[in-house]
Structure 1
Amino acid sequence: MTDQPRILTERRGHVLLIGFNRPDKRNAADFSLLQQLALAYGELDRDPGLRVGLVYAVGEHFTAGLDLADIGPRLGPNGLEMVPEGGINPWQVDGESLTKPVVVAVQGTCLTLGIELMLASDIVVAAESTRFGQIEVTRGILPFGGATIRFPRAAGWGNAMRWLLTGELFDAAEARRLGLVQEIVPDGAQFHRALELAEKIAAQAPLAVAATLANARLAERDGAASAEAALQPALARLAATEDSRIGMQAFVTRTPAVFVGR
């Protein structure tokens, strides 16, 4: 780890802000950044007071991808081991999934692991001038943060291979067409819009949000039949919670619900 934090964290109510903080290097990810990011994801997952993560970047660019000068010598026979104790792999390609949703705000340049972080997250807001690129093939490696799995699933095979195999850059409009981005906003507005969405999610019943996310991921990983079999048991568990009672009471009285996560 370095004295200067590579990742900034801040609690904003029930939202954990997670900021890339290496603007002088266009937020390129060295080993310290990867480790600190994994620890921030671990904090988000463990803390019952946190309901949503918001990933953003300090400076003009989201990320220029891996700092290969720092990462290259660390690649061993098993690839890159970057998750310290207490952390969670932010790209979730090691069998462990985050149990809480993540919103991502991107701007400037968003390369390689940045796209893969978007694909591993749940909602993405992009500044309109953002440029994207899955450029690993131009560096003699392959995407190892999930793009080979999630990009074709999100965009369709040909749409994904068009960019995965050429390494060319594309714009925010194309990213939205491909399903990588959900909203495009004017430059400079991406963080505030992402925070609005994160706070909207955080205001919902956290157990219900987690159950919804888990069932959708179960369907994605194990297929529709597995997710279908889990629906009624999940509904029964949620119906017995205090939050379910709060939600029903709010419906009857037409007042806002304030959920407690129990």
Structure 2
Amino acid sequence: MPGSDRKDVGAHPRRAGTTLLITIDRPRARNSVNAEVAALLASALDELEADPELRAGVLTGAEGDFSAGMDLKAALRGESPDIPGRGFGGVTEADRTKPLIAAVEGWAMGGGFELALACDLIVTAEDAHFGLPEVKRGLIAAGGGAIRLPRRIPYHLAMEMLLTGEPVSGDRAGELGLANRVVPAGQALPEALLLAERLAANTPLALAAVKAVARAADGAAEADAFAAQRTVMSELMATADVREGMTAFAERRAPRWTGK
């Protein structure tokens, strides 16, 4: 759409089969997050969680950028991009059972990078940029960046990004293990949707169980992590989908999941 006629609409969800595509749609503001965008993102995640036909979500930005993070102009007006109990953009502290994939083109800076870090998988264009420049504005990456980044990549490399505020390319993000896929420019969204389709072939109950175990194990002692896993597995083994998976394997056919 021509830039002079376009109105930024905040963020919107669109269904693509069993995937909910969530697009931050403020390209003139580099898809930065204000209070309206945060509320819309939280609403989209609610839709993803509530609809049993949806298996995964893909989060992306409109027209070439993922997100520049917090809308500083809106913040100066007193707007908050945080939602109580859900964190920055309604995403970074949200309790989700379904996988969320970030499809990153262009800039994922500050809170934008933190949105990607909150996702379960990341697909990035090779020429994208990831950075946490908050220290350059007298702030810290408080939307999960200072917590999650040192857990995802070697400590000293994470601290370099956090303390200098300098970005890394999509290629470098792949080398560091931050991204699941590194693709040519313009291909992050198609690749992320293909990845979501692969997830959708599995029962949603198992996907939720994987997320629950991984979350319980994060920072926990090994014995506590196994105890949490036993609880999750006990609930999972009692489901019809587990029996269906085993039966389908024995009968050499594709499983027919019910989510029960």
**Given the two structures, how large is their TM-score scaled by the length of structure 2?**
0.90
Map 1:124-135 → 2, pairs under 5 A: 124-135=122-133
Q: Name the CA distance, whole Å, in 2 between partners of 1:16 and 1:23.
A: 20
CA distance in 2: counterparts of 1:167 and 1:16, whole angstroms: 32
Residue 36 of structure 1 corresponds to 40
1:108 aligns with 2:106: yes
Residue among 162, 165, 168 paired with 2:166: 168
| Residues in 1 aligned to 2:214 and 2:85: alpha-carbon distance in whole angstroms | 27
Alpha carbons 2:86, 2:95 under 8 Å: kept: no
User: 2:92 is aligned with what amino acid?
Assistant: W
Q: 4+ runs of 1 displaced by more than 4 Å?
A: 84-88
Corresponding residue for residue 56 of structure 1: 60
1:116-156 CA distance string (max 9 Å, x none):
11211111000111012110011111111101110001112
**Structure 2 contact 86–92 (Cα < 8 Å) conserved:** no
* Partner SS, residue 118 of structure 1: helix
TM-superposed deviation, 1:70 = 0.5
Relative to 1, partners in 2 of residues 1:221 and 1:12: Cα closer, same or farther, differing over 3 Å? farther
Per the alignment, residue 244 of structure 2 pairs with 246
Per-residue CA deviation, residues 155-187 of structure 1 (Å, 9 max, x unaligned), is 122110111110112111221222221210011
Structure 1 CA distance, aligned partners of 2:78 and 2:97? 29
- Offset of residue 35 of structure 1: 1.7
Distance 1:238 1:220, change over 3 A: same
Greater shift in the superposed pair: 235-244 or 52-61: 235-244
Matched, 1:21 2:25: yes
**Same amino acid, percent of matched pairs:** 39
Give a deviation string over 1:54-90, Cα, whole Å, max 9, x none: 1011101111222101023326xxxx47328999930
Measure the CA separation in 1 of the matches of 2:86 and 2:29.
27
Deviation at 1:221, TM superposition (A): 4.5
- Asked if 2 retains the 8 angstrom alpha-carbon contact of 1:125 and 1:182, the reply is yes
Correspondence 1:226 to 2:235 = no
> Residue type of the partner of 1:15?
T
1:237 counterpart = 2:238: no
Pair 1:74 & 2:78 matched: yes
Classify 1:165/1:84 alpha carbon distance in 2 versus 1 (closer, same or farther; 3 Å).
Answer: closer
The change in CA–CA distance for 1:42 and 1:84 in structure 2 (over 3 A counts) is farther
Q: Alignment partner for residue 143 of structure 1, among 117, 141, 146?
A: 141
1:91 equivalent in alignment to 2:92: yes
Alignment partners' CA distance in 1, 2:50 and 2:117? 22
Question: What is the identity, as a one-letter code, of the residue corresponding to 2:74?
Answer: D
Shift of 1:47: 2.8
Amino acid at match of 1:164: L
Q: Which amino acid aligns with 2:101?
A: V
Q: Please tell me the residue identity of whatever aligns with 1:117.
A: L
Alignment match, 2:10: 6
SS class of match (2:164): coil
Report the CA distance shift for 1:161/1:55 in structure 2 as closer, same or farther (over 3 A): same
Question: For structure 1, which runs of at least 5 residues remain unmatched after alignment?
Answer: none
Three-state SS of the structure 1 residue aligned to 2:82 is coil
1:233 positional shift = 3.1
> What is the CA–CA distance in structure 2 between the aligned matches of 1:224 and 1:54, rounded to whole Å?
31
Deviations 1:3-27 (A, max 9, x none): 8531110122221110011112211
Range moving further from structure 2, 176-185 or 122-131? 176-185
RMSD of aligned Cα (Å): 2.1
